Structure 1
Amino acid sequence: MRNTPARSSAGKNEFGGPRRRGTDVLMAINVTVFALQFLTKDKLLLWGAKDNQLIRAGQWWRLITPVALHANLLHLVTNNYSLNSLGPAVEMLSGRQRFLSVYAASAVAGSAASFAFSPAASVGASGAIFGLGGALAVYCARHRELMGSQSDAILRSLGQSLALNIAIGFSTPQIDQWGHFGGLLGGALTAYLLGPRLERVKRKGGHSLQDNPPIPLFTSKL
């Protein structure tokens, strides 16, 4: 968050792929809303930027609307690039319903943390994107036995990316670090509760995987 090829030939991880449609819809929403912002002369407060005074006055919807707003074109491109990098992996591993649940929960958690600890107005999808990183980290940590060395490699990469983003955030006053931290924790907690949580179970003829998260709301059938 910041303060004030053809569809038929698309691969699974390319824009338009059948297993990443949730990611593509979110990216399209970001672009569409930014175009509407431009047409209305970028009235971010009117569109729903996080503003503490207005939230205290009862406009609680401002805890979710900032996720679709962006301060400028570079902000939009950066967040859509990050969403395109993380979103497909989380969506394919978790399923579309859990992916969208993580994204929404992370957006609200990021705005709530910013509301609690930062007086500045803010917009942006980065809190929700940090939440996707948290969800991917939970998945890898939870499935080390199944993923082997790949799990450690992904966790190491996520840790390096997190450290870099924190360093950039502390050196750039316009970046809402509280929104990032809140989104990260919100995404990790949502992924922990909703899963996936794959376990080996004994069945006739061998073993299979079963999805047993703490809250079996969107459990996958394996």
Structure 2
Amino acid sequence: MPSNRQYSDECPPYCTCVDCKGNYVRNYNYQSSGSGIFNISLSRKECPITILLASVNILVLLLDLLLDGKIIEIGAKSSYGIINGEFWRLLTPIFLHADIFHLVTNLFGILVFGSIIEKKLGSMKFVAIYVLSGIYGNTFSFYFSPYLGVGSSGSVFGVLASLLTYFYLNKNMFGYIAKEYLISIITIISISLIFGFISSGIDNAAHLGGILSGLIISLLIMPKHNNGIHIYGSFERSSVVNRIIYKLITNIYLKAFLALFLVLIFIMMITYRSNSGY
């Protein structure tokens, strides 16, 4: 279960057969290796960034232990530090962890969910989702929480939100597999948030910020198979929600509005919190 601490495969083969009414018929052959839907299948060719991120997080924790916490001291999310211009503290916490257990829980999220989204979207888009979700999560934490914070779970929750978006948009193509993913991801997010609200020392603000940014960024960069009809099957029979999402991911002006919204929220949070003092 990914958490931020605070101190007080390629797409499956498919075809686009068309029935007599001109609607796309779902016809796919999804092959999954291993058991379960969340399988760790790592290779330097398919998941170079996932492996790199996991390695960096491990090395940073080991180095921090050797230096007796000096790295956390200069890199943790600190509201006082950010207000005084130390803006790197919005980024560096995603590579820092409080202890080995904290690291292991987030490594699970990086290796399992990160490897899936890197295979689906590619390394560059995965980096964008991971880093921007982490920054946005720390921005939420900066705005709502006065405590020091470390952890990559804002990034992990952004990746989870991206997976949620991907399988929802392509649920017609993946069929029951998409349903299994959606249920599992929603369950993981829900349990993690509930656990965060009832427990002390967990930065749910960072988690929520990661989820929000992960969803929006995914809508901006998510690939649409062919002309997008695969996402919903028959567009005429799509629900209102599907039609709205379809417009969001295909209309350049709406996508620009989403991007502007994300940037404005970021600026407003930083500016207001900085002006209000520590």
Q: What TM-score does the superposition give when structure 2 sets the normalisation length?
A: 0.68
Aligned to 2:144: 117
Aligned length: 201
Provide the rounded CA distance (Å) in 1 between the counterparts of 2:53 and 2:251. Answer: 27
RMSD, aligned α-carbons: 2.2
CA gap of 1:213–1:166, structure 2 versus 1, over 3 A, is: same
After TM superposition, list the pairs within 5 Å mapping 1:1-16 onto structure 2: 1-4=4-7, 13-16=40-43
Partner AA of 1:2 in structure 2: R
How many angstroms does 1:43 deviate by? 2.5
Counterpart contact for 1:13–1:20, Cα < 8 Å: no
- Percentage of pairs with the same residue: 31
Shift of 1:51: 0.3
The reply on whether 1:69 has 2:72 as its aligned counterpart is: no
Structure 1 pair 91–213 and aligned structure 2 pair: CA distance change class (3 A): farther
Q: Select the residue among 58, 63, 68 that pairs with 1:41.
A: 68
Aligned to 1:169: 196
Which stretch has the larger CA shift, 36-45 or 11-20?
Answer: 11-20
Any runs of at least 4 consecutive aligned residues in structure 1 with deviations exceeding 4 A, and if so which? 212-216
Give 5+ residue unaligned stretches, structure 2.
8-33, 230-248, 256-278
Of 146-155 and 178-187, deviating more is 146-155
Task: Check the 8 A contact 1:194/1:214 in 2, yes or no.
Answer: no
1:207-218 pair list within 5 angstroms: none
In 2: Cα distance, 1:13 partner to 1:74 partner: 19
Give yes or no for the alignment of 1:181 onto 2:181. no
Structure 1 residue 159, shift from structure 2 partner: 0.8
Alignment of 1:105 with 2:132, yes or no, is: yes
Which residue in the other structure is 1:220 paired with?
Answer: none
Matches within 5 A, 1:12-31: 13-31=40-58
- Asked whether 1:135 is paired with 2:138, we answer no
Structure 1 pair 62–171 and aligned structure 2 pair: CA distance change class (3 A): same
TM score, norm. by length of structure 1 = 0.84
Consecutive unaligned residues in structure 1, runs of 5 or more? 5-10, 203-211, 217-222
